[in-house]
Amino acid sequence: MSLSPAERYRALRRDIDAAARAVHRLPEEITLIAVSKTFPPEAIQGFYDAGVRDFGENYVQEWAEKQQRLPEDIVWHMIGDVQSNKTRQVAEHAAWVHTVSRAKIAERLAAQRPADLPPLNVCIEINISGEAQKHGIAPSDAAELAQRITDLPPLRLRGIMCVPSAAEESIVRAQMQAAQALYRDLQAQGFALDALSMGMSGDWRLALEYGTTHLRIGSALFGHRDYAIALP
C-alpha cells in the first residue's frame, strides 16, 4: 500500500529531525524544500495539505503555469537556472532564488522586483565540484558577486547553494566541507549569510553534517520523476 503525501512528509521530517539531532543540530534550523518539478499541481497540493509550505521549481514556465492553480501562501524557491528572459516571473512571484551566478541576472531581478514585496532572498550558486557541465561560479569569485548583490536593495543575500558530485562518499564529503568553509569565509568577510542550500534526496544526511540549512528534496517525497510526462 502506497503512503499518502502526509505520511511520506511526516516520515521524512522525522528522519531529518533525528539525523539533525545526531550531529548536534537543531531540527528547526533545517528547512525542507519539496522539489516539485515535473509534478502536477495536484501532487503539490497534497503535500501542501500535509503542512509543507516551501516548494522548489527548476523551470520557470512550468512553475508559472502551476503557481496560478495553487495557494498564494506557498513559499516558492527557484532552484533552476534563470535565463535573462525569465527573470520577471521570478522577481514578481518567487520568495527565494538559489541559483544566481551572474551579476546581470541579479541586476535584472532587482530591477523587476515589485516595490510592494519584501526583498527577494538570494543564494549564490557555487560550482563546488568544478564540473564543466554544472552551473555556478568558482568559489574564488563568490565574494565579488556577493558584494554586487549586497549593493542591490531589492535583493537580500542569504547564502550559497551547491550541488556536489554524484560520486563516492569521500568526494562528496570533501566538496561539502569546501562549501561549508566558503560559507564561513564569506561570513567572516562581513556578509550576513544564514543559508547554506546543500543536500538532496541522495545525500541530505551528509549535508546535515556540514552545516546545511536548506535541503532540496524531490524523489524522497514525490517518488520517481518521469520527465516524459507533460503537465496539463
Segment holding 216, helix H or strand E: strand 214-217
The per-residue pLDDT for 231 is 46
The per-residue pLDDT for 232 is 41
The per-residue pLDDT for 230 is 44
Question: Residue 118 to residues 75, 91, 149, 218: CA-CA distances in angstroms?
Answer: 13, 11, 15, 27
**pTM beyond 0.85:** yes
Q: Note down pLDDT in tens along the chain; length 232 residues.
A: 588 999 999 999 999 999 999 999 999 999 999 999 999 999 999 999 999 999 999 999 999 999 999 999 999 999 999 999 999 999 999 999 999 999 999 999 999 999 999 999 999 999 999 898 899 999 999 999 999 999 999 999 999 999 999 889 999 999 999 999 999 999 999 999 999 999 999 999 999 999 999 999 999 999 876 655 444 4
The per-residue pLDDT for 227 is 54
The per-residue pLDDT for 2 is 83
Output 141-149 pairs: Cβ under 8 A, ≥24 positions apart: 142/182, 142/186, 143/186, 143/189, 143/191, 145/100, 145/101, 145/102, 145/103, 145/106, 146/186, 146/189, 146/191, 148/103, 148/106, 149/100, 149/103, 149/106, 149/122, 149/124
Alpha helices in 68-203 (DSSP H): 87-93, 103-112, 142-150, 169-188
Q: How far apart are CA 47 and CA 40, in angstroms?
A: 12
> CB within 8 A of 201, min separation 6: which ones?
217, 218, 219, 220
Torsion of CA 17, 162, 119, 145, to 10 degrees: 150
The per-residue pLDDT for 229 is 47
For residue 214, what is its C-alpha cell? 536548506
Segment holding 32, helix H or strand E: strand 31-35
The per-residue pLDDT for 176 is 98
> CB within 8 A of 86, min separation 6: which ones?
60, 61
Under 8 Å between Cβ of 160 and 193: yes
The per-residue pLDDT for 32 is 98
The per-residue pLDDT for 167 is 83
